[in-house]
Amino acid sequence: MADAAAPKTAAAPAKSAPQKALEKLGLRRDIDLALHLPLRYEDETRLVPVAALRDGAAAQVEGVVSECRVLQRPRRQLVVTLHDGQAALTLRFLHFYPSQQKAWALGRRLRVRGEVRGGFLGLEMVHPAVRIVEPGEPLPTALTPVYPTSAQLPQAYLRKAVASGLARADLAELLPPGLAPPGLMPLREALQFLHHPPPEAGSETLEDRAHPAWQRLKFDELLAQQLSQLQARRAREAQRAPSFAAPAGGLPERLLAALPFGLTAAQRRVGEEIAADLARARPMQRLLQGDVGAGKTVVAALAAAVVIEAGWQCALMAPTEILAEQHLRKLVGWLEPLGVRVAWLSGSRKGRTRREMLEQVASGAAALVVGTHAVIQEQVVFARLGLAVIDEQHRFGVQQRLALRAKLADAPGPARDGPPLEPHTLMMSATPIPRTLAMTLFADLDISTIDELPPGRTPVVTKLFADSRRDAVVARIRDEVAQGRQVYWVCPLIDESETLDLQNATATHQQLCEALPGVLVGLLHGRMPAAEKAAVMSLFAGGQMAVLVATTVIEVGVDVPNASLMVVEHAERFGLSQLHQLRGRVGRGAQASVCVLLYGSPLSDAAKARLKAMLETHDGFEIARRDLEIRGPGEFLGARQSGAPLLRFADLTLDEALVRQARAVAGRLLAEHPQLAERQVARWLGARAEYLKA
Ligand code: ADP
Ligand code: MG
């Protein structure tokens, strides 16, 4: 409690609504305002004589009020006649205040901007922007910026705020001459140009982000981003982690020997990359990417074995309970025969069993802990966590990722001397990250790629069917089931509404039950109790259930090799990466598999582009590239995505060359001028810098 005698903090002056709105837009510091760039511009630098006005054109006119009156018919309106010495223009206001009528009195000089219309009484403007001016008042010499704003923040207020922010902001050049790429426009000049362009800079020049002023801003933004990533990497490299070497004949070797298959060359290669990280006394921060079905789980299991062999613990987290359970089954099958104790933690597990599990984790009796994000809940304490594996990392939300980070940071293992030891982290994802993203938003990670599928897989054949041909699809299901194969039928999320989503899946389930007598058709959706979900999933995994109707809960990771047909209903509503993931649920065994995309009409252009991509390619990288093209980087960021876009100006699909330049400069700036690097990051990222490191 505060000491009563201590001076109270002086009551801060109450903030006005526009001030609050500014803060809400993240415009707190002068530099934030200076970097808030216009959406478009208005040309107020010229006056057009009334006699030269043309119907349909926007123009600015100045003149003296020669008449101002309220008409009652055809409806109540204020009509002002403006005369510029040669001709008259009618201004018409259907909504107006008495104060306006008073202000625009006879003889007042007005400067008005608006669209000209050929009205009944000659030329007129309806609701023009009006300003009262003194005779001879100078015209602006630059285009007038129109800024992105919100309802609570009037454009005029924002303009003033930005202008003063721009005037006050520290725009000192932070790039020493030797480091700046040639031809880089000075920052102050670039900002001045973009906020207040000369009238002759046409709208094309301004909108074309290839203009040197835009290039400068994009470069700086990318540079700040690269620097913050490098800093995060440095900070991590200064930390200590337990180092693990895999001894000959140890658990990893025994696991390999017990597997029913041999590793692919790609699996062996990434396995070695991970082993090399684990052998170092610095925390690994590696992303393992590989297309759906490439076999990432076994690579994670081998990494876990290395850690467990050394007497440390490994935690494996999956974004859904279904997926976590599947991992549990697989890992228990592989590792328990070798004497490894596996604990299971999920949100639905409560009471005594949960307490027992927590005790085993805390005592170290459980060497491997599998679960959902329940693994990172507060009550979970590890005896000595050596490795955290996060499957389908992009599926975890921002909060979960931050919580995980915090958890790992305070789950350090015992160290004999010096600071405590941080655990290693291995993230896995089937959504490959396009190159530009890998170089930017993921630059703080090391990346390993499995670029080869296990042998004997036949590529999935993809077919497009109009929704009206459902009967043909049902016939196909019947065939498939008759041959002892299994089928998924996935229903979309409609309008983000779980209720509708459910209706849809339930209705389809009903239809299929009726159309396929004697076939066990199951239903799986997000709202079912966990135990029921697990029961359905295990019936399907065990082969007793032939057809599974599901919502997107099965999207990631589910592995049932005997399934050979995937039907996606309303495929046009799914994202491209999602479709690719779904298709990846089949084609996991030796038999030929089919993915049927049912679509409803009409198709939007983006939906057409997605379905076309699905027909044309199976390559996860190509899919990822096209997805980036169709809808921007959001999908890949997953956990990294915040409300605000992380890059405001640079476009990762277009600016690869700038990314490369920024990368090169970032390394040198940080090494040779660390203080300048620090200022560059603060300038651009401000309060967001912390977040980006998360
Ligand atoms: P993903 O990379 O999508 O997570 P999984 O780890 O689920 O893929 O593996 C897909 C399937 O392939 C599993 O049934 C797994 O046991 C099997 N698998 C993994 N590696 C190999 C391999 N080298 N040879 C044959 N099958 C493999
Ligand atoms: Mg997987």
DSSP string over 350-398:
-HHHHHHHHHHHHHT--SEEEESGGGGSTT---SSEEEEEETTGGGS-H
The one-letter code for the residue type at 31 is I
Instruction: Give the Cα separation of 178 and 637 in Å (integer).
Output: 34
430 lines ligand 1 (CB under 6 A): yes
The proportion of the chain whose per-residue pLDDT surpasses 90, expressed as a percent, equals 50
Instruction: Give the Cα separation of 30 and 683 in Å (integer).
Output: 10
- 359 band by pLDDT with thresholds 50, 70 and 90: very high
Instruction: Give the Cα separation of 462 and 614 in Å (integer).
Output: 7
Nearest-CA residue for atom 25 of ligand 1: 454
Instruction: Give the Cα separation of 71 and 567 in Å (integer).
Output: 65
| pLDDT (mean) for 487-510 | 73
For 289-334, how does the pLDDT look when each residue is reduced to its tens digit (9 = 90+)? 988 788 999 999 999 999 999 999 999 998 888 788 888 988 999 9
Check residue 405 and give its pLDDT: 65
Phi, psi for 315 (deg, rounded to 5): -115, 135
- 645 band by pLDDT with thresholds 50, 70 and 90: very low
Check residue 453 and give its pLDDT: 86
Check residue 308 and give its pLDDT: 96
Check residue 26 and give its pLDDT: 85
The proportion of the chain whose per-residue pLDDT surpasses 70, expressed as a percent, equals 88
Ligand 1: nearest atom to the Cα of 588: 11
For Cα atoms 570, 576, 578, give the angle at the middle one, nearest 5 degrees.
75
For 373-416, how does the pLDDT look when each residue is reduced to its tens digit (9 = 90+)? 887 777 788 889 999 999 987 766 656 666 666 666 666 566 66
Check residue 5 and give its pLDDT: 45
Instruction: Give the Cα separation of 465 and 490 in Å (integer).
Output: 14
Q: Where in the chain is the domain with CATH 2.40.50.140?
A: 46-139
Check residue 643 and give its pLDDT: 33
Mutate to test the pocket of ligand 1, among 297, 453, 555, 618 (most ligand atoms within 8 A of CB): 297
Ligand nearest to the CA of 333: 1
Phi, psi for 500 (deg, rounded to 5): -65, -40
Long-range contacts of the stretch 12-19 (C-beta < 8 A, 24+): 17/152, 18/152, 18/153, 18/154, 18/157, 18/158
633 lines ligand 1 (CB under 6 A): no
Per-residue pLDDT for 680 more than 70? yes
- For 460-617, CATH number out of 3.90.1170.50, 3.40.50.300, 3.40.50.720, 3.40.309.10 equals 3.40.50.300
Instruction: Give the Cα separation of 606 and 568 in Å (integer).
Output: 17
DSSP string over 132-156:
E--TTPPPPSSPEEE----TTS-HH
Per-residue pLDDT for 433 more than 90? no
Look at residues 39, 72, 288 and name the one whose alpha carbon lies nearest to residue 158.
Answer: 39
Q: Give the count of beta carbons closer than 10 Å to the beta carbon of residue 173.
A: 12
At 64 the three-state DSSP class reads strand
Instruction: Give the Cα separation of 109 and 679 in Å (integer).
Output: 49
Phi, psi for 4 (deg, rounded to 5): -60, -30
Task: Give the H/E segment covering residue 267.
Answer: helix 265-278
Ligand 1: nearest atom to the Cα of 259: 16
For 11-65, how does the pLDDT look when each residue is reduced to its tens digit (9 = 90+)? 566 788 888 888 888 888 999 999 999 988 888 999 999 999 988 888 999 999 9
Contact in structure between 450 and 527 (CB atoms under 8 Å): no
Nearest-CA residue for atom 12 of ligand 1: 295
Q: What b/e readout covers 508-523, taking b as 16+ CB neighbours within 10 angstroms? A: bbeebbeebeebebbb
Torsion of CA 616, 621, 627, 629, to 10 degrees: -100
Work out the end-to-end distance of the chain between its first and last CA atoms, rounded to an integer number of angstroms.
Answer: 33
Window from 250-264, 408-422, 439-453 with minimum mean pLDDT: 408-422
Whole-number Å distance, alpha carbon 209 to ligand 1 midpoint, is: 45
> Helix 620-631 vs helix 605-616: angle between axes, to the nearest 10 degrees?
170
Mean per-residue pLDDT of the chain: 85
293 lines ligand 1 (CB under 6 A): yes
DSSP strands (E only) in 493-619: 521-524, 547-550, 563-568, 594-599
Check residue 272 and give its pLDDT: 96
Q: Which residue has the tokens 């090391």?
A: 446
Ligand nearest to the CA of 291: 1
Q: Is there a cis peptide before residue 602, judged by omega within 30 degrees of 0?
A: yes
Whole-number Å distance, alpha carbon 630 to ligand 2 midpoint, is: 25
Spatial strand order of the sheet with 385-390 comes to: 342-345, 368-371, 313-317, 385-390, 424-429, 285-290, 446-450
Instruction: Give the Cα separation of 667 and 673 in Å (integer).
Output: 10
- 10 band by pLDDT with thresholds 50, 70 and 90: low
Of residues 526 and 516, which shows the higher confidence score? 516
587 lines ligand 1 (CB under 6 A): no
Whole-number Å distance, alpha carbon 326 to ligand 2 midpoint, is: 10
pTM here is 0.70
Ligand 1: nearest atom to the Cα of 561: 14
| Residues 6 or more apart whose Cβ sits within 8 Å of residue 630 | 576, 606, 609, 610, 613
Check residue 351 and give its pLDDT: 81
Nearest-CA residue for atom 22 of ligand 1: 454
Look at residues 184, 142, 151, 170 and name the one whose alpha carbon lies nearest to residue 38.
Answer: 142
Check residue 592 and give its pLDDT: 87
Ligand 1: nearest atom to the Cα of 264: 23
- For 46-139, CATH number out of 2.20.25.160, 2.40.50.140, 3.30.360.10, 3.80.30.20 equals 2.40.50.140
Task: Classify the phi-psi angles of 286: left when phi > 0, otherwise alpha if psi is within -120 to 50, otherwise beta.
Answer: beta
316 lines ligand 1 (CB under 6 A): no
583 lines ligand 1 (CB under 6 A): no
578 lines ligand 1 (CB under 6 A): no
Torsion of CA 187, 192, 197, 200, to 10 degrees: -70
For residue 59, the cross-strand partners are 114
Whole-number Å distance, alpha carbon 325 to ligand 2 midpoint, is: 12
Q: Kindly list the distances between the CA atom of residue 411 and the CA atoms of 318, 343, 376, 405, in Å, as whole numbers in the listed order.
A: 19, 17, 10, 10
Name the maximum alpha-carbon separation found in the chain.
100
Ligand nearest to the CA of 267: 1
> Helix 265-278 vs helix 296-309: angle between axes, to the nearest 10 degrees?
30
Contact in structure between 440 and 628 (CB atoms under 8 Å): no
Residue ranges with CB less than 5 Å from ion ligand 2: 557
- For 251-450, CATH number out of 3.40.50.300, 3.10.20.740, 3.40.50.970, 2.120.10.30 equals 3.40.50.300
Window from 309-313, 543-547, 654-658 with minimum mean pLDDT: 654-658
- 642 band by pLDDT with thresholds 50, 70 and 90: very low
| H runs (alpha helix) in 92-178 | 98-103, 155-168
Whole-number Å distance, alpha carbon 403 to ligand 2 midpoint, is: 22
Instruction: Give the Cα separation of 59 and 65 in Å (integer).
Output: 18
For residue 216, the cross-strand partners are none
For the record, the structure tokens of 555 come out as 């999207």
Check residue 411 and give its pLDDT: 60
Of residues 299 and 429, which shows the higher confidence score? 299
Window from 124-138, 212-226, 383-397, 618-632 with minimum mean pLDDT: 618-632
Ligand 1: nearest atom to the Cα of 391: 4
For 581-596, how does the pLDDT look when each residue is reduced to its tens digit (9 = 90+)? 889 888 887 788 999 9
At 245 the three-state DSSP class reads coil
Torsion of CA 83, 89, 93, 96, to 10 degrees: -10
| Residues 6 or more apart whose Cβ sits within 8 Å of residue 8 | none
Per-residue pLDDT for 690 more than 50? no
Q: What b/e readout covers 468-497, taking b as 16+ CB neighbours within 10 angstroms? A: eebeebbebbeebbeeebbbbbbbbbbeee
588 lines ligand 1 (CB under 6 A): yes
For the record, the structure tokens of 679 come out as 């200022």
Of residues 440 and 579, which shows the higher confidence score? 579
295 lines ligand 1 (CB under 6 A): yes
Contact in structure between 348 and 529 (CB atoms under 8 Å): yes
| pLDDT (mean) for 561-570 | 92
For the record, the structure tokens of 546 come out as 């032939």
Which of 18-32, 266-280, 325-339, 420-434 reaches the highest mean pLDDT? Answer: 266-280
